[in-house]
A and B are shown apart, each in its own frame.
Chain A
Amino acid sequence: MINYIVRRVLWAIPVLLIISLVTFGLGHAIPGGPFDREKPLPVEIIANLEAYYGLDDPLWKQYTDYLWNALHGDFGPSYSSRSRTVNDIISDHFPVSAQLGVLALMVAMVVGIPLGMVSALKQNSSLDYFCMFFALLGVSVPAMTLGPLLVWFFALKLHILPVARWGTWQQAIMPAFALGIGSAALLARLTRASMLQVIREDYIRTARSKGVSEKNVTVHHALKNALIPVVTVIGPMFAALVTGSLIVEQIFAIPGCGKYFVTSITNRDYPVVLGIMLLYAVLIIAANLLVDITYAWIDPRIKYT
């Protein structure tokens, strides 16, 4: 097990290297430079700036310099906001994306898991059909549709929630729901499927025949086991919510990482682009690793070599 984890963590290193190399290559392949302006700067000033940031070095040197600095925890300067480094930018904006991701995940879990449970326990009842119809709806309605609908109804019609921006808890409600409902629906379907499988197991029948109360059977025997596959998707779901929050950030004017990424590409702000890309890649790789470990930890039948 330990061996397996170590090997997986070591394997993440070449993956991150390749991702950084590809991102670096693609970024520099985009024509134009960070100091292009609508009213062009004098050639000498551009040359000075490029010399200052090391942009006049050959590309391979720029890349290795970047890696070397990144290994020491310095992800470089930002060309467009010159008073801040990439580290500053990430520590300013990433917490916002992460908060949004956590809130959306909470929405997903609080709405999705009970819905799936109720649905499974009352299988084929009209309540089940209603819950599953809602889940199918939730999977299908994208944040791009839901966001404007929520804004229109709660902010513009009822005037009970603020239209946009980030900071107070009222401002967090609509973005969290717009981002989290799709995942809630996925969790509901997953919980239902897994619960249906579990309540047909022999040990449930044994528990019932021993005279364990129905409530006890549901909570202690069925639910606990049914949640195994649900727990394992939570990590990647969080990673997907954080890395996919861009559209919600755009709709609600939230100063997260995603929005910054797009502006940085347009500004040819290579270090910022690389920094955010690597950060998100680490998040995804860690989440995937976490799934495999939790699987092995929860279910002793699974063995890794």
Chain B
Amino acid sequence: MEVKLKEKKQIIGETFIPERPEVNLWKDAFRRMCKNKMALLGAVIITVLFIFAIFAPYIAPYHYAEGSLKDNFAQPGSKFLLGADFMGRDLLSRIIYGIRISLSVGIVGAVTAFVIGVFYGVISGYYGGKIDNIMMRIVDVMYGFPTLLLIILLMVLFKSTFSVATPGTFAGYLNTIDRAFGGLFFIFIGIGVTSWIGMARIARGMALSLREKEFVEAARATGNSNLQIIFKHVLPNLIGPCIVRVTLAIPGYITFEAFLSFIGLGVNPPTPSWGMLISEGYKAMRSFPHLAIYPGLALAITMIAFNFMGDGLRDALDPRMK
């Protein structure tokens, strides 16, 4: 490209206007990512998982809650491809429906972390001074919390407070929502409470350096308000790294949910979360190891896919970091 430009410049002289195809950050990143085979593989796996999640009722051979005690612990075979669990429910179907849980936790976790974290960080970093000081002290306190223990505490609180709430009140309303989500709603809140902290720190650091840049000064000089500057000049410049960061954090949210369901504080049975499948299967580990291992593999494959894609996204948006 450069050689061509030089040649043209020589030929046409000073009146040369460079003819370049329009390239912006995202197009460029997309092109680079398509060259990265691992990232592409990750994206393909994630797409397949999404298709499975959306069309689960048509793809899964059985419903996740349907089973007969006659078939309990049935070995993998033609009737049950991956065998059946202790209640005679088809493991494959439960794993397929489980994709829904894991993906929704991953996405909701990422979105809440992104939205809360970026706004918090940008406000703190952009305004600086006293506001920054107070907001970062709050983040410091949150950083001191053992996150896992805090979420466990919150989950117990949610589950026991709202399950006894009278219908019609606010608490009762929340409980109805949670029931409708199969116990996921409170997990969303629990993850939301803790997940934004890391993102806030990164966004703040970037906002701090961005607000000193010339283009922000120029924007201010031309009479833009703070809000306009934040939305038009600061946010677009830090969104790339924040997206990378949040993509790489998705596996964390997915394991978080699996972990909560593993210790019995996650989804309500019979909602099939992979963590719950592993914990149920692990109880029969000696005789039926496949019941714990297959859901575990599903979990691992999902995490690998998100990590592949996150890594690829990072390399694509910031090739210097490779």
Contact = CB atoms under 8 A, between A and B. Distances in A.
Interface of A: 11-12, 14-16, 18-19, 22-23, 26-27, 29-32, 136-137, 139-142, 144-146, 148-149, 151-152, 156, 163, 243-244, 246-247, 250-251, 258, 261-262, 265-266, 273, 276-277, 280-281, 283-285, 288
Contacts of A247: 259, 262-263
Interface stretch (B9-17, B92-100, B147-155): B147-155
Contacts of A276: 149
By secondary structure, the A interface counts as helix
B156 A265 contact: yes
Interface string B308-319: 100100000000
The 6 tightest CB contacts between A and B, nearest first, are A145-B296, A280-B146, A148-B292, A140-B304, A140-B303, A152-B289
Nearest to A152: B289
Contacts of A16: 144
Nearest to A133: B38
B145 A30 contact: no
Given A31-B161, A136-B307, A145-B297, A26 B153 contact: yes
Contacts of B156: 30, 265-266
Given A18-B141, A145-B299, A152-B285, A277 B157 contact: no
Nearest to B275: A144
By secondary structure, the B interface counts as helix
A27 B150 CA distance: 10
Contacts of A12: 144
A261 B144 contact: no
Contact of A142 (B150, B258, B286, B289): B258
Given A15-B140, A243-B148, A142 B255 contact: yes
Interface in B111-153: 140-141, 143-146, 148-150, 152-153
Nearest to A26: B153
A281 B299 contact: no
A19 B145 contact: yes
Contacts of B300: 140-142, 145
B310 to A, nearest CB: 10
Contact of A243 (B38, B149, B281, B306): B149
Contacts of A26: 153-154, 157
How many B residues touch the partner, as a band? 35 or more
Contacts of B293: 145, 148-149, 152
Given A243-B148, A277-B149, 11 more contacts: A15-B144, A23-B153, A140-B306, A145-B297, A152-B292, A156-B285, A156-B289, A246-B148, A246-B259, A261-B149, A266-B156
Contacts of A244: 148
Nearest to A153: B289
B282 interface: yes
Contact of B299 (A144, A163, A273, A285): A144
B84 interface: no
B160 A30 contact: yes
Interface string B146-188: 1011101110110011001000000000000000000000000
B251 interface: yes
Nearest to B261: A144
A251 B259 CA distance: 11
Nearest to A18: B141
A287 B140 CA distance: 13
B289 A281 contact: no
A140 B251 contact: yes
B278 A30 contact: no
A100 to B, nearest CB: 15
B153 A250 contact: no
A261 B285 CA distance: 25
A18 B139 CA distance: 12
Contacts of A18: 141
Nearest to A285: B144
B303 A141 contact: yes
A224 B275 CA distance: 41
A255 to B, nearest CB: 16
B206 to A, nearest CB: 20
Contacts of B262: 144, 247, 250
Contacts of A285: 144
Given A149-B293, A276-B149, A277-B146, A29 B308 contact: no
A194 to B, nearest CB: 13
A13 to B, nearest CB: 11
B153 A142 contact: no
A23 B275 CA distance: 26
B296 A149 contact: yes
Contacts of B148: 243-244, 246, 258
B160 A31 contact: yes
Nearest to A243: B146
B164 A31 contact: yes
Contacts of B311: 136
18 contacts: A19-B144, A136-B304, A136-B307, A139-B251, A140-B251, A141-B303, A141-B304, A142-B255, A144-B259, A145-B297, A145-B300, A148-B285, A148-B296, A152-B285, A250-B262, A250-B263, A273-B153, A283-B146
